[in-house]
Structure 1
């Protein structure tokens, strides 16, 4: 157990007691963000040369799972901050020096979907647009935003006809945060929209994603890992749901009109055991794929197309297994789980909100299947 994970385990009960507060506030409170920083949860994927922990991905996933086990929104926030740091590491050195000028515990946020536009302006760029789902936007210091490259109003394309994109880096203070986060679950992630109105972005705060340059390839790999970071949250939510239904059972709880306690019911035991194994299977798959991908990248080996596609499909499989376990836990708890005050109701809403994220979609299964039978697949799909 690494030190960051040990500190996260110690902090988890504090987070769990404040889960309802986090949901009602719509964000993780600033004092708790400070505790996450002290525990190392904000710097675990920051390069060591900038003062970060630079943990291997599998170790970071364990931290995220532990936080999500206490509260899904807190785990999600930590995972998205981690993704931001993976992407920050792809920017030119001058930009990284700006980001970490005050130390490694930086609240980063961003959007991978190219919802905005970047227009060349002298030696830099002008950035316009509006991006949804920017987790932690109100508390972020730096925000990365993916943009379509345009000239005038015309999107630019490469030789294959694929739109050109540019990843830009903007101080959060130069962006407008638009309060849009009125949602089913993960309510405490503050995943609002951000808007840029002709914001100046110096050339060193950006790079082209549609190139063969090393930084672009690292960024593509980082974006692929987004699914694994979210999958770790999903496993944590599922484990937390099982923890809660087990706690109900061991206190001697009985379902209405039941002759046996929940804990002594063979039907309860069967469904609980199945859900437990689903979570174990999800965790094992997640860590195996993450370890393989991380080791390959560290060795400089280019993964085969089917390996890359399986990495992307892992998030979908892990999320479905986690959702299966949460549904089982919610069902086993009976009528008590229908109340808004029930942690299991929150877990159910959180996991089903997580299933809607594009990195958890079934599309990647089709990509794996196509590659297995030798069909051509568009490289951008995995």
Structure 2
């Protein structure tokens, strides 16, 4: 098993300082702070998965998940926005070559979107008419383009896929053609700006439609041959891991404060808290290592269904252990952890909100 590293080893201290300095203001405004956003642009984090031929970094998945874990360790909301938006940037491997270069020509290009199939795309002579509304698009306030999943319609009749189910396909739309709707009112991930959006009677050319399938990739690269499901599971799980490591880091001073300032906490209590922190840290690192190894193995052999299944299992287990380690330690951290004005509470809220993602809920 590989020697596990702390996420901080992947980020320059100045980057972490900027991200964390402005995290409270970002939470107040409900989106990333301009200083945080400038750092994202400078380091091309929105382009981590974008095609190299369009100026992207085309980052291999094993390297990507460690970078995303590190960013989520620095701040949950920033890590999540980068993960979801660079994940949408991955679609560049499937978007028509006549459209994609225009999308990525902008140095501040950012794609955001929702996977929910809550729109319709009605076939016209030269394209589609799109209608619908979508929820929870993280980073949508920073987006230059927005993706939507639509049920394909031929007049009033749904078009069927090869298996007889309704045909669902994604589209990429200009940000100015989309109406944003305030809708993110949850306890955590507040700075992700994960608001809703809607489109009404929008005509788009047929080349705005694409298909997420290795066989439909328009760029010959290992990255766009890797299955989307495992890519999504792994990148989301890495975020929960990063937040959990951040929480455990903050536990140490919280436990020290409790040990020295609460008279009812005796030496035996201190030992219990210290052992709980050591045990949680060891367990989380063990599961992180298993997760990283599973992703690496699948990256080397992405057609191996057994290895892909191991990625799915390791991702869900990492999400589960991240939650459980944090919840075991939370009661030891005192009211400091319960105050919404503290960093440790923000991390707790972010992790428990992000962990509600449906891809990470069940172990099988």
Q: Given the two structures, how large is their TM-score scaled by the length of structure 1?
A: 0.85
Do the aligned residues in 2 keep the contact of 1:255 with 1:334 (CA within 8 Å)? no
Tell me if 1:287 matches 2:292.
yes
Do the aligned residues in 2 keep the contact of 1:8 with 1:67 (CA within 8 Å)? no
Going from structure 1 to structure 2, the CA distance change for 1:219 and 1:127 (only over 3 Å counts) comes to: farther
Going from structure 1 to structure 2, the CA distance change for 1:261 and 1:31 (only over 3 Å counts) comes to: farther
For 2:168 and 2:139, the matched residues in 1 are separated by: 24
Going from structure 1 to structure 2, the CA distance change for 1:245 and 1:209 (only over 3 Å counts) comes to: closer
Which residue of 2 is the match for residue 53 of structure 1?
Answer: 57
1:77 to 69, 75, 81: 81
Which residue of 2 is the match for residue 221 of structure 1?
Answer: 227
Going from structure 1 to structure 2, the CA distance change for 1:256 and 1:324 (only over 3 Å counts) comes to: farther
How far apart are residue 329 of structure 1 and its match?
3.2
Which residue of 2 is the match for residue 146 of structure 1?
Answer: 149
Which residue of 2 is the match for residue 114 of structure 1?
Answer: 117
Tell me if 1:303 matches 2:304.
yes
Q: Superposition pairs for residues 1-382 of structure 1, below 5 Å?
A: 6=10, 9-103=13-107, 105-209=108-212, 213-214=216-217, 218=224, 221-249=227-255, 253-260=260-267, 265-297=270-302, 302-304=303-305, 306-362=306-362, 365-366=363-364
Going from structure 1 to structure 2, the CA distance change for 1:77 and 1:275 (only over 3 Å counts) comes to: same
Aligned pair count reads 354
For 2:68 and 2:161, the matched residues in 1 are separated by: 38
1:168 is paired with a residue whose SS is: strand
Do the aligned residues in 2 keep the contact of 1:282 with 1:322 (CA within 8 Å)? no
Going from structure 1 to structure 2, the CA distance change for 1:208 and 1:66 (only over 3 Å counts) comes to: closer
Do the aligned residues in 1 keep the contact of 2:213 with 2:227 (CA within 8 Å)? no
Going from structure 1 to structure 2, the CA distance change for 1:215 and 1:357 (only over 3 Å counts) comes to: farther
How far apart are residue 289 of structure 1 and its match?
2.4
How far apart are residue 27 of structure 1 and its match?
0.8
For 2:12 and 2:102, the matched residues in 1 are separated by: 28
Do the aligned residues in 2 keep the contact of 1:8 with 1:66 (CA within 8 Å)? no
2:170 is paired with a residue whose SS is: strand
Going from structure 1 to structure 2, the CA distance change for 1:51 and 1:208 (only over 3 Å counts) comes to: closer
Segment drifting more, 246-255 vs 328-337: 246-255
Q: Given the two structures, how large is their TM-score scaled by the length of structure 2?
A: 0.89
Do the aligned residues in 2 keep the contact of 1:209 with 1:220 (CA within 8 Å)? no
How far apart are residue 323 of structure 1 and its match?
0.7
Q: Where does structure 1 lack aligned partners over 5 or more consecutive residues?
A: 367-382
How far apart are residue 215 of structure 1 and its match?
5.6
For 1:70 and 1:261, the matched residues in 2 are separated by: 33
2:49 is paired with a residue whose SS is: coil
For 2:260 and 2:234, the matched residues in 1 are separated by: 36
Going from structure 1 to structure 2, the CA distance change for 1:151 and 1:256 (only over 3 Å counts) comes to: farther
1:353-382 Cα distance to aligned partner (Å, 9 max, x none): 1121111121xx43xxxxxxxxxxxxxxxx
Do the aligned residues in 1 keep the contact of 2:287 with 2:318 (CA within 8 Å)? yes
Q: Where does structure 2 lack aligned partners over 5 or more consecutive residues?
A: none
Going from structure 1 to structure 2, the CA distance change for 1:223 and 1:113 (only over 3 Å counts) comes to: farther
1:149 is paired with a residue whose SS is: strand
